[in-house]
Structure 1
Amino acid sequence: MSAARLLVLGALARRGIAHGYGVHQDLVSWRADTWTSVKPGSIYHALEKLASQGLIEPSSSEDSTKLGPARTEYAITEEGRQEFIRLLEAALKNNDFQMVAAGIAFMEFLPRARAARLLEERLDSLRATVSFLRTLPTQPIPADPSKHPELVGLWVGYFDYAVASTESLLQALRSGSYLFIDEQK
């Protein structure tokens, strides 16, 4: 799964219609480069790929005030909206930081209860990972990297934090924070 794909579809779902540069500007203003590895080139590549798959629909801009050739605008198709929701749901369950970050950025496109259930699935997976990591053997002088106490400690610390932050997000959802699609008028 690609964070760029989810971010581009999410930006178009939010905007309705946009030039590639508009999608790029949204991601820059959201500072998406700090919480994903999405770069400008991957945005334009994702736009081309999504268009070739029929998930977004390109059209020429009719902006008569702009000098030069028409720009291509994109709108998400019904198939694209379904793919966006599929990617969003997968991202909220994902243990990869970049994917869950992209999922959180667009979680309001889901009903509150669905977002909470997906995050609960993530939490179960994270807890299982922490339990497994705590069973890994370590050696004071490791024979291989997987037995290095600092490396295992780093993994455990990362996943402990992921558990705590997911619990915190779930608590926020349960207490009514944020506005979800099923609550909008």
Structure 2
Amino acid sequence: MSTVRLLVLGSMLRRGVSHGYGVYNDLTSWRAETWTNVKPGSIYHALEKLEAQGLTRAEASEIHVKLGPSRTEYSVTEQGKAEFESLLRSALQSFEIQTFAVGIAFMDMLPRGEVIRLLSDRASALKESASFLRTLPTEEMPSEPSKHPELTGLWENYVSSELSNTLNLITKLEAGKYRFLGE
């Protein structure tokens, strides 16, 4: 799943209609580079691909800010909105921290109950993963990387931390924190 794709579609859906520079400004003002690996050039590449796949529609802007060619504005198609929602649902269950972060950024664009369910599914998968990691054999003098206690400990701590963060977020959402679609 592409975090760039999710970020670009999310920015455009929040704006309604946007040009590439507007999406770039959103991501810059959100400081997305601190919680994702998005590069400015990837925004324009994503816009081209989204349009080629029928997920966005491009039109020449009626507003001429400067002399020269008109700026292209994009809107998200119904197919693009469905793609965004699918990517968002996947992101809210992802173990990959940057993908999950983008899911959190746009979670308010789904109904609260659905977000809680998706996060609960993530928590269940994280619990299962943490349990599995605790069963892995380790060796004081590891014969292979998978048996290194520091490596398995690192992953167990990461998964346990993600589980704790996810459960805390679920508690906040169940208590009514934040505003979601339809509220």
Question: C-alpha offsets along residues 89-115 of structure 1, whole Å, 9 cap, x if unaligned?
Answer: 111111111111111100111110000
Give the aligned partner of residue 72 of structure 1.
72
Cα displacement (A) at 1:34: 1.2
Q: Secondary structure at the match of 2:58?
A: strand
> With structure 1 as the length reference, what TM-score do the two structures score?
0.96
Structure 2: tracts of 5 or more residues without a match:
none
**Equivalent-residue separation in structure 1 for 2:153 and 2:30 (angstroms):** 32
Question: What is the correspondence of 1:1-185 to structure 2 with a 5 Å cutoff?
Answer: 1-183=1-183
**Equivalent-residue separation in structure 2 for 1:30 and 1:124 (angstroms):** 30
Percent of pairs identical after alignment? 56
Q: Secondary structure at the match of 2:129?
A: helix
**Equivalent-residue separation in structure 2 for 1:64 and 1:15 (angstroms):** 19
> With structure 2 as the length reference, what TM-score do the two structures score?
0.97
State the Cα RMSD in Å: 0.8
Q: Secondary structure at the match of 2:92?
A: helix
**Equivalent-residue separation in structure 1 for 2:138 and 2:65 (angstroms):** 66
Structure 1: tracts of 5 or more residues without a match:
none
Cα displacement (A) at 1:64: 2.9
**Equivalent-residue separation in structure 2 for 1:146 and 1:68 (angstroms):** 59
